[in-house]
Amino acid sequence: MSDERIRTVRVTLDGQTIEAAASATVLDVALANGVFIPHLCHHPDLRPAGACRLCFVDVDGRMVTACNAPVVEGATIRTNTDAVKTTVRGAVELLLVNHHRGAVDCEEGDACELRKIARFIGIDEVRLARFRRPEPAPPVDTSNPFFEYDPGICVLCGICVRTCDEVVGVSAIDFVRRGVHTTIGSAPGAKWMDSDCVSCGECVVRCPTGSLSMRDSEVPEREVRTTCTYCGCGCGIHLGVTGGRIVSARGVRENPSNEGRLCVKGRFGYGFVNAPDRLKKPLIRRDGVLVEASWDEALDLVAAKFTEHRGDAFAAIASAKLTNEENYVLQKFVRAVQGTNNVDHCARLCHSPTVAGLVQSLGSGAMTGTTKDLGDSRCILAIGTNTTAAHPIVALQVVRAVHQGGKLIVINPREVDLARHADLVLRNRAGSDVALLMGMMRVIVDEGLHDPAYIAARCDGFDEFRESLARFDAATVEELTGVPFAQVAAAARMYATNGPASILYAMGITQHTHGTDNVLAVSNLALLTGNVGRTSGGVNPLRGQSNVQGACDMGALPNVFPGYQRVDRPEVREKFERAWGARLDDMPGLTHLEILGGVTGGRIRAIYLVGENPALSEADANHARHAMEEVDFLVVQDIFLTESAEYADVVLPAATFAEKDGTFTNTERRVQRVRRAIDPVGDSRTDLWITSEIARRMGAAGFDHASAADVMDEIASLTPIYGGVTHERIEGSGIQWPCPDSSHAGTRTLHTERFPTASGRARFFALAYRAPDEEPDAEFPLVLTTERSLYHYHTSTMTRRVPGLEQLRGEELVEMHPRDAAALRVSSGDQVRVTSRRGEVVARALVTEVSPPGTISMTFHFHEAPTNVLTNAAFDPVAKIPETKVCAVRVEAVR
C-alpha cells in the first residue's frame, strides 16, 4: 500500500503528460489536474463504487468508469471523445428524466451536483420534459428531527448507504424495492426515524443533490473554527453564527481528531447556547428566594464570604467543561488565595482510577495512543466502554479497524452496539473484570504468548505478578465472571497474537470499588504483550468530557499542581510558591466525595461549585443534595439554573464554550483551541473573568491576565508537559502533550522509549479479585449498572434544551432482560419502581436482551428519574471513585 503511494506513473490526460501516484484513480488524477469529469457517487472518504455511470472516460481506446480505474503507466486518457460525450450525456439524461424535479429550476440551486453536471454538459431540459416520470413525487420523509429525505430528487448514487456502512458502521439504510421504484429505506414501512439510524448526519453532508438535507437549516453569516463542547473526542467544528446566535455546525476536515466527522450531538446539539432560560444575571438568595442582583453585589458578597472561609473549610469543585485556562486559574485561586488544596472535579467520578493506576504502572494517566491510530490496530479490545454512545468519533476508528481486517473483542455485561462488529463478545458479570483479565493473562503466560524480551527490557515486578496469576485458574475465572473459560482463552489468544493491539476502556472499568485494580489489570495485559509504546497499540482510557483530560492536567485535583506535580514535594511547592507569590499547603486536599461528605461534620463550610451538577451526577445523590442544602455558603457558577444551583446562596451566570477563548485537551492529549464565536449571552461572563474578579476583589495579585493566551503562557512556564504549548502554536491541528518546549512537535504515542517513572521502566502489579461492595441478595435481587445514551450528555443540562435530541430520547428507561421482565410481569413501556438501600426512582421499562439476566441498567440523564439516588457511594480506597457501576436493587411494577 505505502509503496503504491510513493511509486509514480506517467499518463497522458487530454494531451497533457502528467505524473501521478500509482495508487490514484483516473478520477483522482483528473480532478487534481483541473479536468472536470462528471461524477455523483464518488466521495473521497468512501471506496469507489462505479454506480452512477457518469464518469466514463476513454483509456487507451476502452471506455471505463474513471472513479474505479487505477492509473496505469503510459496510459492515454481522454475525457472528451465523441463516444464519451454521447455516453455521459445519455446517462445524465436518464437521471434527469427519472428525477421528479427539473434540475434548472430546482430550489437546491448550485448545491446540487446534478444541476452542475447538467449545465456542464449543456442539457436541454425542455426536450427531456416529455420523457419525465408522470407520477407525482413520493412523499418526503420528515421523521427525523434534524434532516429529511426527499426520494423525488434522489439519484441513487448510494453515497448515503455507503457512508452509513463504511464510515459510521451502522448500515441503517440500503437500496430498497426494484427498478424505477428503487429508493433508500430501512425496514418495512419504516420511516427514517424507525431505523437503526443514529442521526449523525454524515450521510446528509455527503448527499450530492440535497435529497438528504438539513431541516431548519440556516446559512450562517460567518463561521468560527473551534472545538466541540460535548465528549472527550474533541472534534473540530466550524460553528456558524448569524447575529448573536449559533445556527449551524460542521466538522473540520483538517482536524486530526475527527477529520470532519461529527456525531448527532456535535452536529445538532448547540441549541442550548441560545436557549431562552440561560442564566443572564447573577442571583442572590434573599429570604430564601434567589433574586437577580448586579455583578458588583454578587461578587462583593462572594469575595467577603470566601474571605471568611479561607483555609480548609473552603472547597472548590472545578469543571471538565471549563477551558484549561479557567481550570488553571480556579485551582490557583483555591491554592494561592484560599490556602487549601481542597479542589477536585468530576474526573474523580470517572477516571480517577486511571490517573491513580496508570501513573503507578506506566508513569502517566492518559491515553497512550492517538485516536486516528486506533483504526490501524490489528486488534482492539474494548472493555467497559459503550464507545458508540459515549465516544462516537472514537468508535468510527474501531469500525475502520474492523473494516481493515483488525480483530475486535468486546467485553461488557451489556451487549453494547459495538458487539455487532466484534469477533468475540464476552459478557461478564458486572464487577468481575479483574478476574476476567487475569484469566486471559494466565492463558497468555501458560501458552508462552507473552513478550519476554519486552518485559525484561522495560518492565519491573513481573515475577510477583506472575505468581498472582496462579489464583486465576479456569474454574475460578468461570465462576467469578460467568463466562465460559474457552471464550476467555480465545480472547487471550486473539489479543496476544494480533499486534499492534489497543485496549479501549471507560467507566465500566473505573467506576468500581476496585477501579484502580481494574486499571492495573488492563495495563498488565498491555505490558505483558509488549503493546505499550507501539503506535496503534497501548492502553487507551477514553476520557468523558470535552476537557476532563485538561482539567486533570491543570491540577484541578487535590493532590497535584498542574502537570501532575505533587503538592507534597517540597521542590515542586517552592516552585509554585515563587511563581504565585503565596504560601501553599503541602497536605493533599479533599476529594469530590469527601468535600460533600465533609459538610456534615462541619469540616467544609463554603463550596465554590463551578460547572457541575452533583444533584444528579453524584453517587447516592440524595446525600449530595443534603450536603448542598446544609453547607453555610454555596456558590454555583453555571450556564443554567441546574438542579444543584437551586441550593445555592449565590448563582453566577457563566458563558458557554461558544462565548470564550481558551483551550480544551481531548482524550488523545491534544490541546486544541476554543474560540469565541459570539459574545456572552445576557450579562453572563466567562469563568476566567469571574474567578479572576473574585480573586481581585479579595486583594489577590496574579489574576490580571490580559487574555486566555496569557494564562496559557503562565501554564507553560510551570507545567513541563505543556512547556511548548502556546495558543499560537496550536492554531492549526493542536499539539499532543507531552510537549516540553517550543521546538517539540508534541507526542503521538507515549512511552516509545522510556516510561516517565523514576526508573524509566513500567511496573506489573500482582492482583487479587475483590467483589463489588454491594451484591444482590434476597431483598435487592438485581444489579443496577449505569450507562449513557448517545443522545444526551451527562446530566442533560445542555442536551435536553435541544428539542431534536429530546425527541430522539426523552425519558429514562430501565433496561432489563426478558427473563427478569417476565418474572416481574413487566412489558416494555410499563412503569416500574427501582429501589435500592438509598432511594427509589420510577421510570418506564425497556425489555431487551442487551441487558444480561439479573442486571438492569439506567442512564443518569433525566432529572425526573434521578438514577444516582440509587447508586452506591462506597469508593475505591486509592482513587476514591464511587461504585456507580454496581449496586443492588429491587424492581417492581407500578400498577
- Residues in contact with other proteins by CB under 8 A are 165, 170-178, 185-191, 195-196, 420
Considering the complex, state which of residue 560 and residue 847 has its C-beta at the smaller distance from other proteins: 847
User: What CA–CA distance (Å, rounded) separates 685 from 786?
Assistant: 34
Instruction: Report which of 595, 605, 670, 675 is spatially closest to residue 634, judged by C-alpha positions.
Output: 605
Considering the complex, state which of residue 165 and residue 259 has its C-beta at the smaller distance from other proteins: 165
Instruction: Report which of 398, 385, 401, 480 is spatially closest to residue 442, judged by C-alpha positions.
Output: 480
Strand intervals (E) in 243-310: 245-251, 283-286, 289-292
Considering the complex, state which of residue 202 and residue 618 has its C-beta at the smaller distance from other proteins: 202
Residue with C-alpha cell 433496561?
A: 815
At its nearest, how many Å lie between other proteins and the CB of residue 442?
31
Instruction: Report which of 593, 512, 592 is spatially closest to residue 773, judged by C-alpha positions.
Output: 512
Contact partners, residue 109, CB within 8 Å, separation at least 6:
115
Considering the complex, state which of residue 56 and residue 192 has its C-beta at the smaller distance from other proteins: 192
- Which DSSP letter does residue 57 get? E
- Which DSSP letter does residue 420 get? G
Cα 389 to Cα 269, 393, 850, distances in angstroms: 15, 10, 14
At its nearest, how many Å lie between other proteins and the CB of residue 190?
8
At its nearest, how many Å lie between other proteins and the CB of residue 376?
24
Contact partners, residue 121, CB within 8 Å, separation at least 6:
38, 85, 88, 89, 92
Considering the complex, state which of residue 182 and residue 733 has its C-beta at the smaller distance from other proteins: 182
User: What CA–CA distance (Å, rounded) separates 520 from 448?
Assistant: 21
Contact partners, residue 315, CB within 8 Å, separation at least 6:
334, 340, 342, 343, 344, 589, 590, 595, 598, 604, 606, 607, 608
Cα 417 to Cα 284, 389, 396, 425, 819, distances in angstroms: 46, 8, 12, 11, 21
User: What CA–CA distance (Å, rounded) separates 742 from 725?
Assistant: 7
Considering the complex, state which of residue 22 and residue 176 has its C-beta at the smaller distance from other proteins: 176
Considering the complex, state which of residue 414 and residue 429 has its C-beta at the smaller distance from other proteins: 414
Percent helix, strand, coil in the chain, to 5, is 35, 20, 45
At its nearest, how many Å lie between other proteins and the CB of residue 174?
4
Helix (H) or strand (E) segment spanning residue 200: none
- Which DSSP letter does residue 23 get? T
End-to-end Cα spacing for the chain: 63
At its nearest, how many Å lie between other proteins and the CB of residue 141?
12
User: What CA–CA distance (Å, rounded) separates 890 from 837?
Assistant: 9
Considering the complex, state which of residue 285 and residue 420 has its C-beta at the smaller distance from other proteins: 420
At its nearest, how many Å lie between other proteins and the CB of residue 830?
19
Considering the complex, state which of residue 143 and residue 733 has its C-beta at the smaller distance from other proteins: 143
Q: How far is CA 334 from the centre of its chain?
A: 29
Considering the complex, state which of residue 169 and residue 653 has its C-beta at the smaller distance from other proteins: 169
At its nearest, how many Å lie between other proteins and the CB of residue 421?
10
Q: What is the CA radius of gyration of the chain?
A: 29
